[in-house]
């Protein structure tokens, strides 16, 4: 009886989603909506998600109907052969229904509304000096390969390279459908254990780099008052501090209400550097806005898989053992070279599943 009540609730939910799908399709034909790009993107993303859910929902409804028919046949027929066939069908369809029920419950978990957005990824060298900067460079190349394999695009917003090929800091924009939804699990401290290229005695060192992934904010998401900004310009510098430009093209923007500071010097044009810096600032302010909204929610609704704690150690790359360990889900893979070559899907898929399982338990 408990399952019957659960199935009834799911069927009611499916009915509401089917109605919402019709509403969206009607809205997407409205001229006022067609001229609003942001609204059209939001509706398109919601429609795509509903189509995914309703694909499973159709199979669920068909299985419920078949089961009801078979049970009716079993209760009404005196023919032993027909009854035996009905019992076999019922057993098979109950198994299918159980699987579809679980799949549907996962699909019905509320989605993070930011998941479909582009992402802004910030990689910074932590403890470990030049070795940490080299590791930050390794992470940047790993993510670049992953992003390329996904068919997404990247744009370097700001970078502070070192002379040996590492980065003290690099910020990139990742442009692609669902980029934030996949990359958000990468936020946190990444640790490396290896013999540094700068080490002559062969001792294994431990260094770290931090990764922060933000949903890329559009102008309509965050309104910035120009009066709140202090904009300074200066000459760009390269590794070691040498000047790489003869004009004041580098830009530093300070958002005075929050104290946030963003710098950009990668472009030769002051105008382009300012535009990039504002894009980064907008996303950081959007992150603050999202966190404030999340603080209003009950603590039990927050995911421990993706805590957003920038200081949390999430992953270790151990070179001597060719091992990568994700500490949040106790996942260890002996595929260091492949992962550093951008093969991150196995890790991200398992993090995604762990978060869904956690949300499902909370919902239950």
Give tens-digit pLDDT for 271-287.
Answer: 899 999 999 999 999 88
pLDDT of residue 290: 82
Distances (CA, A) of 355 to 144, 148, 236, 313: 25, 25, 42, 17
Task: Identify whether the C-beta of residue 130 lies closer than 8 Å to the C-beta of residue 198.
Answer: yes
Q: Which residue has the higher pLDDT, 198 or 41?
A: 41
Structure tokens of 46?
């919601």
Q: What pLDDT was estimated at residue 304?
A: 54
* pLDDT tens for each residue of 237-247: 665 545 455 56
> Is residue 319 pLDDT above 50, yes or no?
yes
Residue 299 has pLDDT above 50, yes or no: no
For every residue of 70-90, DSSP letters joined together read HHHHHHH---HHHHHHHHHHH
Is the pLDDT at 20 greater than 80, yes or no? yes
Helix, strand, coil share (%) of the chain residues, nearest 5: 50, 20, 30
User: Domain 226-294: which CATH class?
Assistant: alpha beta
pLDDT tens per residue across span 21-66: 999 999 999 898 888 887 888 888 889 889 989 999 999 989 988 8
Asked if the domains at 119-216+303-363 and 226-294 fall in one CATH topology, the answer is no
Q: DSSP string of 247-261?
A: S--EEEEEETTTTEE
Q: Tell me 177's DSSP state.
A: T
Residue 216 confidence (pLDDT) above 80: yes
What pLDDT band is residue 317 in, cutting at 50, 70 and 90?
very high
For the chain, what are the domain ranges? 2-107, 119-216+303-363, 226-294
Helical (H) or strand (E) element with 13: helix 2-27
Sign of torsion, CA 192 193 195 199? positive
Q: Options 1.10.3450, 1.10.3470, 1.25.10, 1.20.58; which CATH number does 2-107 get?
A: 1.20.58
Write out pLDDT tens, residues 147-160.
999 999 999 998 99
pTM score of the predicted model: 0.72
Distance CA 302, CA 299 (A): 6
- What per-residue confidence (pLDDT) applies to 277? 92
Question: What's the pLDDT band for 83 if we cut at 50, 70, 90?
Answer: confident
pLDDT given at position 164: 84
pLDDT at 142 over 90: yes
pLDDT score recorded for residue 281: 93
Mean pLDDT computed over 3-32: 88
Please work out, in degrees rounded to the nearest 5, the angle formed at the alpha carbon of residue 311 by the alpha carbons of 341 and 335. 25
Q: Which two tokens stand for residue 89?
A: 């069908």
pLDDT value of residue 300: 40
Would you state the pLDDT for residue 278? 92
The model's pLDDT over 320-349, given as tens digits with 9 standing for 90+, comes to 999 999 999 999 999 999 999 999 999 999
Of 321, 350, 324, 352, which is closest to residue 338 (Cα–Cα)?
A: 324
Supply the pLDDT for residue 88.
86
Residue 350, pLDDT above cutoff 90: yes
119-216+303-363 sits in which CATH class?
alpha beta
Q: What is the mean pLDDT of the chain?
A: 86
Both tokens of 279, joined, read 């894009």
pLDDT in tens, 220-230: 678 899 999 99
């Amino acid at each position: 009886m408990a399952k019957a009540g659960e199935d009834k609730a799911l069927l009611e939910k499916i009915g509401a989603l089917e109605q919402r799908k019709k509403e969206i399709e009607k809205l997407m034909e409205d001229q006022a909506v067609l001229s609003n790009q942001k609204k059209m993107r939001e509706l398109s993303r919601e429609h795509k998600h509903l189509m995914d859910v309703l694909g499973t929902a159709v199979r669920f409804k068909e299985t419920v109907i078949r089961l009801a028919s078979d049970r009716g046949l079993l209760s009404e027929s005196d023919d032993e052969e027909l009854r035996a066939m009905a019992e076999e069908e019922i057993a098979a369809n109950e198994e299918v229904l159980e699987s579809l029920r679980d799949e549907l419950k996962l699909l019905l978990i509320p989605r993070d509304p930011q998941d479909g957005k582009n992402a802004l990824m910030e990689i910074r060298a932590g403890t470990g000096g030049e070795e940490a900067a080299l590791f930050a460079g390794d992470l940047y190349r790993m993510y670049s390969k992953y992003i390329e394999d996904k068919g997404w695009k990247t744009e370097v917003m700001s970078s502070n390279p070192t002379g040996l090929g590492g980065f003290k800091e690099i910020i990139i924009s990742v442009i692609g459908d669902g980029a934030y939804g996949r990359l958000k699990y990468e936020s946190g401290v990444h640790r490396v254990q290896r013999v540094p290229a700068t080490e002559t005695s062969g001792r294994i060192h431990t260094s770290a780099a931090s990764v922060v992934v933000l949903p890329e904010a559009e102008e309509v998401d965050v309104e910035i008052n120009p009066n709140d900004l202090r904009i300074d310009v200066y000459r760009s510098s390269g590794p070691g501090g040498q000047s790489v430009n003869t004009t004041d093209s580098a830009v530093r923007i300070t958002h005075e209400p929050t104290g946030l500071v963003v710098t950009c010097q990668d472009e030769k044009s002051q105008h382009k550097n300012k535009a990039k810096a504002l894009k980064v600032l907008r996303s950081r302010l959007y992150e603050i806005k999202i966190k404030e909204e999340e603080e209003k929610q009950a603590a039990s609704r927050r995911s421990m898989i993706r805590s957003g704690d920038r200081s949390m150690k999430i992953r270790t790359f151990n070179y001597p053992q060719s091992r990568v360990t994700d500490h949040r889900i106790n996942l260890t893979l002996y595929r260091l070279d492949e992962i550093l070559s951008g093969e991150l899907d196995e890790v991200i898929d398992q993090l995604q599943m762990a978060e869904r399982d956690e949300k499902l338990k909370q919902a239950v």
